[in-house]
């Protein structure tokens, strides 16, 4: 076994320091060491998007990031999306639009949507579908997800213009 | 809150926010793999690299010696089962096969078949230890093809299987071991005479590949075998009570020693009913005295859980030239996988279920092959046969020049019609779903453009009743805490809470539903068969009625009148002289009138009347690549009464997209050695959101008289029509009839180029 | 996953020294989207990972008179977000837009795509078409090699132990040139190319005749191929169906694909011809300064 090392990064604004082996993925460390289990594991090879987190402003699949690579990074996970006890527009739109069934893909899709709206505040249906193509959902057929993303974008736009 | 869409009701037909919603959009909801317990060990499993082999020896000594390894288990650690068949809630199982599927006994029957398990301090050590286990195999020829497996000289997988005859099938000719585990035969009328009446007969052969449910959450189980002999199992499952029973039977311990705590579940679609991991984690926990967590990899999920069978089918339909179906005949062989148990029975019952067929004959075979043991997948068996029958129906329509919607309406199954396998329909909504499509904006709008085509198809699922239980406690603030045992995969706890709310005259938000563990709620059968909103809904309504009775008694006590002068309606109790107290007012008085009011309800007798759906799809074919794009999609379905329309639509949309995946790309792709070569999401190719359009829905409501509010289950029907509808659309677009699923680009291009 | 060590050098020299020290048992780590997966499934088991993604030289993304420099670790999203790439090296932008999903594109690099040396790599045919040259640093200095000569077999390439791909350099784009990449996949996204084609064309001032063309092919042989004859067949020819058909036939000629779960041999050969024509047509439209009508993935 290779030596464990100390890795320091911020998660949802909090500085954390963990001790890990190089072979531990960021996903494993978030879930098992930091108990941030909102980030899910669906395939462990980057094909389902359930483990999506935002790393230094970019969405990444945390199953394909080594924890040691996160040294100095700023991370945002599903646990950091709501503002205190208030849901953000995307979360609220998912609930209002019934855009989840089993809910296992939901954290990844919400995080990916946050990244999308940051980059493109007013996405077309095609933009949404392309941006979310790396997030598999097996329950909903995507219809209500796409609508919820667009509803959230609209709400945010209205809020921004007021 | 949305306004009620059903004027008969106050709560039913509205769209409240689901009760578990906040947890699920914030990442707080705990799924199976999220369980963390103090002292917990991590497990990993050794799986067969071969599709068919005898196990000559297993040497675990090197694995046991690895630092950090706490225990190793093989089938030697599970009790012998002998020849026992046990009823497990949704069907019976041969325990010898079930235990051998959990940990192979002497023989591996498919690649990925589990052989041994390790518990270690972390997952990495467990995975390293697995590689140190030495297994000596004697390779046997793999049997991968369903028709080949039926041949006289085919290698036999299980020496304890003899053909079992079902329906009017004749007894097997001999008692030799065979791969053909079951032979079904259903007959109605006189098929020969029926076909003699036909002006047009079409007969085709069809093949469909094995496909997987594809739920995003892998199987998992965490088990603690405590020092008092009691087991606790944390698992995401479609049925905590069947996990309890299967685990107890496999370990040969009393069911009361097993407590199953269902976590949130990340999809199932029929695939999370059978037990794979709990007995293994239990054995490892017993050996170590610590809780053990096992989680499958995605490849394990594909290779070693329970997909739905591949099939070979021959189906023949006859009709008169004025558009009346007169006879049908089907021969259907399903891959059972390693052990018996494919949904061949339901397939035989569904093949002509959409139609009023005077003469029919259906023969079916359950055939073992060296692939994982198949399991339920959303309307098990029905999608396969709908692909066959519904494409034949369109071929007939073309030949006699009748509109396919019109033909379906004229020949539709309806109340009083007897299915080929015997049962007679109660009030059902086949006609109404076809009419809904026929009258839809989609169907009425002409499709324009080159290589574009439109297709429709219908589908059927029985929907079952089975057993459910619920209890409900009135809180002093006028809310109700509802406890039920149906694990919630798609928002069912809200659908059940809404029925309780409707019955009590309170709001959906005033009910606080929870899914209980096996020690805290009454027996509930699995979340499957599209039964939960129906049957657990009835249990909740019964619990509400029980609360009503108790509140009537309390009010009578308060008003000092006889209970017979008090009634419950419109959200409160009403007594003589205009006396009334609302539910909320009554709730506030409970402490002073005898304490808690707890309502109890069960459902066990009710059965469902069956449900139908009809879909319409427009496609565009790239004739140079053989690739199909879905342009527009509309699904109509009889939901009886839609409790929460958003979640009814969601089932229809999700089912349709699963069906689209099955139609176009999904398949188990095996090489000659029996290795699945596409056991990742990348190569298995379930639809992404960039592959499909919006899925329009039309909820048809033909109430089921067997449910107080008319509910029909909606989960399964929507997967049945898509492959046939898409095949029909492809024909309309490019004039090629596809008889082989998936209709993937290489296959479709080959057919286009043949033209 | 097996146990390994992780090093994060701060200079290229240091990285090369580490690579050389471990003599073949070290692997450079850029985005990791292929490497980590391959380690997890046990296909690769390096003793040491050398994280090169923060090295300055591997993060260059700039254009000068000589052309475009793309550092080997520059992630896809930066490439398709770059103005020069988007206006002049469009095939590269097309490729980077469809490698994995958006999350993968946050990490995956064209250097990694090339070093992973998969026959179906989406960026390699584009790099071939655009005349990319690999700049390799090693213990005995630097060397350069054309992209089409880099891969030597599935998962194999010309890198010697201790060598590191630093950047891919592309020549400046001539006037009246255009390029495009597309692939055939059964889904519309998140898929491995069944066939992938990248092409670059240069037209004369009339826009009616080819001056030159380069075509790269993916997933139709053990390595991505440079369809040299197909490209050369277009030089000096008028833009018409006949010349395109001829190029397509020449491309089909060199295809030697396998049958696997992603497609049959016959299908791949047929699709090679179809895509070569489509990609050339799109590159021609771009060379004329017009927008192509292209729906990613369809």
- In the DSSP assignment, the letter for residue C172 is P
Note the pLDDT tens digit of each residue in B245-296: 999 999 999 999 999 999 999 999 999 999 999 999 999 999 999 999 999 9
List CB contacts (< 8 A) between C41 and chain A. Answer: 45
**What number of CA atoms fall less than 13 Å from residue A47's CA on the CB side?**
23
Residue B178's Cα: distance from chain center in Å?
A: 28
Q: How confident is the model at residue B90 (pLDDT cuts 50, 70, 90)?
A: low
pLDDT of residue B5: 65
- Which residue in B230, B238, B287, B279 sits closest to B259, CA to CA? B230
Average pLDDT on B598-624 reads 96
pLDDT of residue B619: 98
Go through the domains of chain C in sequence order and give each one's CATH number: 5-171 (3.30.465.10), 177-287 (3.30.390.50)
- Which residue in A79, A113, A121, A134 sits closest to C108, CA to CA? A134
A43 has a chain B CB within 8 A of its CB: yes
CATH architecture of A89-161: Orthogonal Bundle (1.10)
Q: Please say which residue of B603, B635, B652 terminates a domain.
A: B603
Same domain, B547 and B520: yes
Note the pLDDT tens digit of each residue in B486-514: 999 999 999 999 999 999 999 999 999 99
B237 has a chain A CB within 8 A of its CB: no
Residue B510 lies in a domain: yes
Same domain, B387 and B490: no
Residue B695 lies in a domain: yes
Which residue in A28, A95, A133 is closest to B17 by CB distance?
Answer: A95
Same domain, B457 and B470: no
- Which residue in B695, B615, B626 sits closest to B654, CA to CA? B695
Task: Tell me if A96 and B265 make a contact (CB, 8 A cut-off).
Answer: no
Q: What string of pLDDT tens digits covers the 162 residues of chain A? A: 568 999 999 999 999 999 999 999 999 999 999 999 999 999 999 999 999 999 999 999 999 999 999 999 999 999 999 999 999 999 999 999 999 999 999 999 999 999 999 999 999 999 999 999 999 999 999 999 999 999 999 999 999 887
Beta-carbon count within 10 A of B177 CB: 12
What is the widest separation between alpha-carbon atoms in chain A? 57
Task: Please give the Cα distance from C39 to B277 (Å, whole number).
Answer: 25
Same domain, B544 and B570: yes
Q: How far is C65 from chain B (nearest CA, A)?
A: 39
Q: Do C173 and B673 contact (CB within 8 A), yes or no?
A: no
Which residue in B22, B215, B689 is closest to A145 by CB distance?
Answer: B689
Same domain, B624 and B488: no
User: Is residue B539's pLDDT more than 80?
Assistant: yes
Beta bridge pairs of residue B44 = B118
Average pLDDT on B618-638 reads 98
A143 has a chain B CB within 8 A of its CB: yes
Q: What is the CATH number of the domain that holds B724?
A: 3.30.365.10
Chain B / chain C CB contacts < 8 angstroms: 61
Q: How confident is the model at residue C297 (pLDDT cuts 50, 70, 90)?
A: confident
pLDDT of residue B700: 98
Q: Please say which residue of B603, B619, B645 terminates a domain.
A: B603
> Residues with Cβ < 8 Å from B578, sequence gap 6 or more?
none
pLDDT of residue B3: 42
Which residue in B626, B683, B690 is closest to C262 by CB distance?
Answer: B683
**What number of CA atoms fall less than 13 Å from residue C130's CA on the CB side?**
31
> Residues with Cβ < 8 Å from B544, sequence gap 6 or more?
B472, B499, B500, B503, B504, B599, B601
Q: Which two tokens stand for residue C274?
A: 């179809």
Given a contact as 3+ CB pairs under 8 Å, which chains touch C? Answer: A, B
pLDDT of residue B2: 36
- Which residue in B302, B311, B425, B293 sits closest to B367, CA to CA? B311
Task: Please give the Cα distance from B475 to B174 (Å, whole number).
Answer: 65
Helix axes A143-161, B645-664, angle to 10 degrees: 120
Task: Tell me if B36 and A101 make a contact (CB, 8 A cut-off).
Answer: no
Residue B104 lies in a domain: no
Q: Which of C4, C186, C257, C260 to mutate to test the interface with B (most CBs of B within 10 A)?
A: C186
Q: Do B277 and B294 contact (CB within 8 A), yes or no?
A: yes
Where are the CATH 3.10.20.30 domain residues in chain A? 5-80
User: Considering chain C, what is the average pLDDT of its residues?
Assistant: 96
Same domain, B470 and B588: yes
**Helix H or strand E encompassing A5:** strand A5-11
C residues 96-155 lying closer than 8 A (beta carbon) to B: none
Chain C residue with Cα closest to A126? C295
List CB contacts (< 8 A) between A98 and chain B. Answer: 15, 18, 491, 644, 646-647, 649-650
Q: How confident is the model at residue B89 (pLDDT cuts 50, 70, 90)?
A: low
Same domain, B578 and B654: no
Total number of domains in chain B: 2
Same domain, B661 and B745: yes
Task: Please give the Cα distance from C195 to C272 (Å, whole number).
Answer: 6
Where are the CATH 1.10.150.120 domain residues in chain A? 89-161
Task: Please give the Cα distance from B480 to B478 (Å, whole number).
Answer: 7
Distances B55 to B49, B50, B52, C222, C259 between C-alpha atoms, Å: 12, 11, 10, 37, 32
Note the pLDDT tens digit of each residue in B295-353: 999 999 999 999 999 999 999 999 999 999 999 999 999 999 999 999 999 999 999 99
Same domain, B491 and B410: no
Task: Please give the Cα distance from B13 to B649 (Å, whole number).
Answer: 12
Same domain, B649 and B743: yes
Q: How far is C259 from chain B (nearest CA, A)?
A: 11
Average pLDDT on B106-119 reads 98
Task: Please give the Cα distance from C17 to C21 (Å, whole number).
Answer: 6
Average pLDDT on B175-198 reads 97
Q: Please say which residue of B551, B570, B603 terminates a domain.
A: B603
Average pLDDT on B682-706 reads 97
Same domain, B614 and B749: yes
Which residue in C3, C36, C296 is closest to A66 by CB distance?
Answer: C36
Q: Is B398 exposed, middle or buried (0-12, 13-18, 19+ CB in 10 A)?
A: middle
A25 has a chain B CB within 8 A of its CB: no
Q: Which two tokens stand for residue B129?
A: 């230890």
Q: Do B329 and B196 contact (CB within 8 A), yes or no?
A: no
Helix axes B240-251, B95-102, angle to 10 degrees: 90
Q: How far is A140 from chain B (nearest CA, A)?
A: 4
Q: B223-258 burial by CB neighbour count: b if 16+ within 10 A, else e?
A: bbbeeeeebbbbbbbbbbbbbbbbbbbbbebeeebb
Task: Please give the Cα distance from B534 to C242 (Å, whole number).
Answer: 65
Which residue in A2, A63, A134 is closest to C102 by CB distance?
Answer: A134
Chain B residue with Cα closest to A81? B26
Task: Tell me if B750 and C260 make a contact (CB, 8 A cut-off).
Answer: no
pLDDT of residue A1: 52
CATH architecture of A5-80: Roll (3.10)
Residue range(s) defining the domain that contains residue B397: 381-463+608-754
Same domain, B477 and B572: yes
pLDDT of residue B1: 34
Given a contact as 3+ CB pairs under 8 Å, which chains touch B? Answer: A, C
Q: How confident is the model at residue C281 (pLDDT cuts 50, 70, 90)?
A: very high
Q: Do C280 and C201 contact (CB within 8 A), yes or no?
A: yes
C295 has a chain B CB within 8 A of its CB: no
Q: What is the ipTM of this complex?
A: 0.98
């Amino acid at each position: 076994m290779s030596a464990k090392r100390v890795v320091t990064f911020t998660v949802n604004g909090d500085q954390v320091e963990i001790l890990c082996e190089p072979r531990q993925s960021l996903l494993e460390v978030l879930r098992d060491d930091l108990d941030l289990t909102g980030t899910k594991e669906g395939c462990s090879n980057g094909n389902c998007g359930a483990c999506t987190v935002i790393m230094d402003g970019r969405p990444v699949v945390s199953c394909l990031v080594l924890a040691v690579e996160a040294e100095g990074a700023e991370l945002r996970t599903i646990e950091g999306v709501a503002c205190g006890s208030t849901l953000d527009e995307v979360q609220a739109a998912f609930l209002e639009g019934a855009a989840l069934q089993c809910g296992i893909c939901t954290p990844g899709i919400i995080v990916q949507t946050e990244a999308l709206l940051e980059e493109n505040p007013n996405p077309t249906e095609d933009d949404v579908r392309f941006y979310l193509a790396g997030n598999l959902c097996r329950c909903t057929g995507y219809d209500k997800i796409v609508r919820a993303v667009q509803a959230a974008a609209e709400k945010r736009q209205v809020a921004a213009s007021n | 809150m949305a306004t009620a869409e059903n004027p008969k009701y106050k709560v039913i037909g509205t769209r409240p926010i689901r009760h578990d919603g906040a947890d699920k959009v914030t990442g707080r909801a705990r799924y199976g793999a999220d369980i963390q317990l103090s002292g917990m060990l991590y497990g990993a499993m050794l799986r067969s690299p071969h599709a068919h082999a005898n196990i000559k020896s297993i040497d675990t000594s090197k694995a046991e010696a690895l630092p950090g390894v706490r225990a190793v288990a093989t089938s030697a650690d599970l009790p012998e089962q002998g020849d026992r068949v046990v009823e497990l809630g949704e069907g019976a199982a041969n325990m010898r096969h079930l235990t051998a599927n959990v940990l192979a006994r002497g023989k591996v029957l498919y690649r990925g078949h589990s052989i041994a398990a390790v518990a270690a301090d972390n997952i990495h050590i467990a995975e390293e230890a697995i590689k140190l286990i030495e297994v000596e195999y004697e390779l046997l020829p793999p049997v991968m093809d369903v028709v080949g497996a039926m041949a006289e000289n085919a290698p036999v997988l299980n020496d304890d299987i003899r053909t079992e005859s079902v329906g009017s099938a004749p007894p097997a000719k001999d008692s030799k071991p065979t791969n053909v585990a079951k032979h079904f035969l259903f007959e109605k009328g006189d098929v020969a005479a029926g076909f003699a009446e036909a002006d047009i007969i079409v007969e085709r052969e069809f093949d469909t590949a094995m496909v997987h449910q594809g739920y995003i959450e892998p199987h998992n189980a965490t088990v603690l075998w405590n020092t008092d002999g009691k087991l606790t199992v944390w698992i995401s499952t479609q049925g905590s009570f069947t996990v309890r029973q299967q685990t107890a039977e496999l370990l040969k311990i009393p069911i009361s020693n097993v407590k199953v705590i269902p976590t949130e579940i990340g999809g199932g679609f029929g695939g999370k009913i059978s037990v794979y991991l709990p007995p293994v984690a239990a054995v490892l926990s017993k050996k170590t005295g610590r809780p053990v967590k096992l989680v499958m990899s995605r490849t394990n999920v594909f290779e070693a859980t329970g997909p739905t069978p591949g099939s070979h089918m021959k189906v023949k339909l006859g009709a008169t030239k004025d558009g009346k179906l007169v006879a049908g005949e089907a021969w259907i062989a399903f891959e059972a996988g390693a052990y018996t148990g494919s949904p061949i029975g339901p397939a035989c019952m569904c093949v002509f279920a959409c139609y009023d067929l005077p003469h029919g004959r259906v023969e079916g075979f359950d055939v073992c092959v060296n692939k994982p043991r198949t399991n339920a997948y959303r309307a098990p068996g029905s999608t396969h046969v709908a692909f066959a029958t519904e494409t034949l129906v369109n071929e007939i329509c073309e030949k006699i020049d009748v509109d396919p919607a019109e033909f379906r309406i004229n020949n539709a199954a309806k109340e009083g019609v007897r299915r080929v396998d015997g049962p007679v329909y109660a009030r059902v909504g086949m006609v109404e779903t076809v009419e809904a499509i026929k009258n839809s904006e989609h169907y009425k709008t002409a499709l324009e453009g080159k290589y574009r085509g439109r297709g429709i198809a219908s589908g059927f699922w029985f929907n079952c009743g089975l057993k459910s239980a619920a209890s409900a406690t009135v809180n002093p603030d006028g809310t109700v805490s509802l406890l039920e045992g149906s694990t919630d995969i798609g928002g069912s706890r809200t659908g059940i809470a809404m029925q309780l709310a409707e019955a009590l005259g309170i709001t959906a938000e005033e009910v606080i539903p929870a899914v209980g563990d096996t020690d805290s709620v009454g027996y509930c059968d699995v979340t499957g068969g599209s039964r939960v909103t129906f049957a657990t809904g009835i249990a909740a309504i019964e619990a509400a009625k029980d609360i009503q009775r108790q509140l009537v008694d309390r009010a009578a006590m308060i008003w000092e009148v006889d209970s017979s002068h008090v009634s419950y309606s419109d959200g409160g109790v009403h007594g003589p002289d205009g006396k009334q107290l609302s539910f909320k007012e009554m709730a506030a008085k409970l402490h002073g009138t005898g304490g808690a009011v707890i309502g109890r309800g069960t459902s066990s007798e009710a059965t469902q009347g069956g449900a139908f759906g009809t879909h319409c799809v427009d496609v565009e074919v790239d004739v140079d690549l053989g690739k199909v794009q879905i342009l527009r999609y509309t699904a109509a379905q009889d939901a009886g009464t839609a409790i929460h329309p958003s979640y009814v639509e969601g089932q229809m949309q999700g089912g349709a997209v699963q069906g689209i995946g099955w139609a176009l790309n999904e398949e188990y792709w095996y090489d000659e050695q029996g290795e699945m070569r596409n056991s990742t999401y990348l190569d298995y190719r379930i639809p992404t959101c960039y592959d499909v359009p919006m899925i329009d829905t039309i909820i048809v409501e033909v109430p089921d008289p067997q449910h107080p509010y008319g509910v029909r289950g909606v989960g399964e029907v929507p997967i049945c029509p898509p492959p046939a509808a898409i095949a029909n659309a492809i024909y309309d677009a490019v004039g090629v009839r596809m008889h082989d699923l998936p209709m993937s680009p290489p296959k479709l291009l080959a057919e286009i180029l043949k033209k | 996953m097996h146990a390994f060590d992780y090093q994060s050098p701060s200079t290229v020299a240091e990285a090369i020294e580490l690579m050389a020290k471990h003599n073949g048992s070290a692997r450079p780590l850029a985005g990791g989207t292929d490497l980590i997966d391959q380690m997890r499934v046990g296909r690769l088991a390096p003793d040491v990972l050398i994280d090169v993604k923060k090295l300055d030289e591997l993060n260059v993304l700039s254009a000068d008179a000589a052309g475009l420099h793309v550092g080997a670790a520059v992630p896809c999203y930066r490439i398709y977000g770059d103005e020069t790439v988007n206006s002049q090296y469009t095939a590269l932008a097309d490729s980077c837009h469809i490698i994995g999903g958006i999350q993968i594109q946050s990490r995956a690099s064209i250097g990694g795509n090339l070093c992973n040396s998969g026959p179906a790599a989406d960026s390699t045919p584009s790099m071939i078409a655009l005349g990319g040259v690999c700049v390799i640093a090693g213990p005995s200095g630097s060397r350069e090699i054309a992209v089409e000569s880099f891969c030597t077999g599935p998962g194999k390439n010309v890198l010697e132990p201790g060598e590191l791909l630093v950047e891919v350099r592309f020549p400046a784009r001539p006037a009246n040139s255009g390029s495009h990449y597309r692939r055939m996949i059964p889904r519309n996204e998140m898929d491995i190319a069944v066939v992938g084609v990248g092409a670059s064309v240069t037209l004369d001032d009339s826009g009616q005749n080819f001056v030159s063309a380069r075509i790269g092919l993916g997933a139709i042989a053990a390595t991505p191929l440079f369809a040299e004859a197909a490209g050369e067949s277009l030089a000096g020819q008028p833009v018409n169906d006949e010349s395109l058909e001829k190029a397509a036939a020449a491309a089909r000629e060199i295809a030697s694909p396998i049958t696997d779960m992603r497609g049959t041999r016959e299908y791949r050969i047929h699709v090679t011809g179809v895509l070569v024509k489509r990609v050339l047509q799109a590159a021609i439209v771009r060379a004329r300064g017009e927008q192509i009508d292209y729906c990613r993935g369809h």
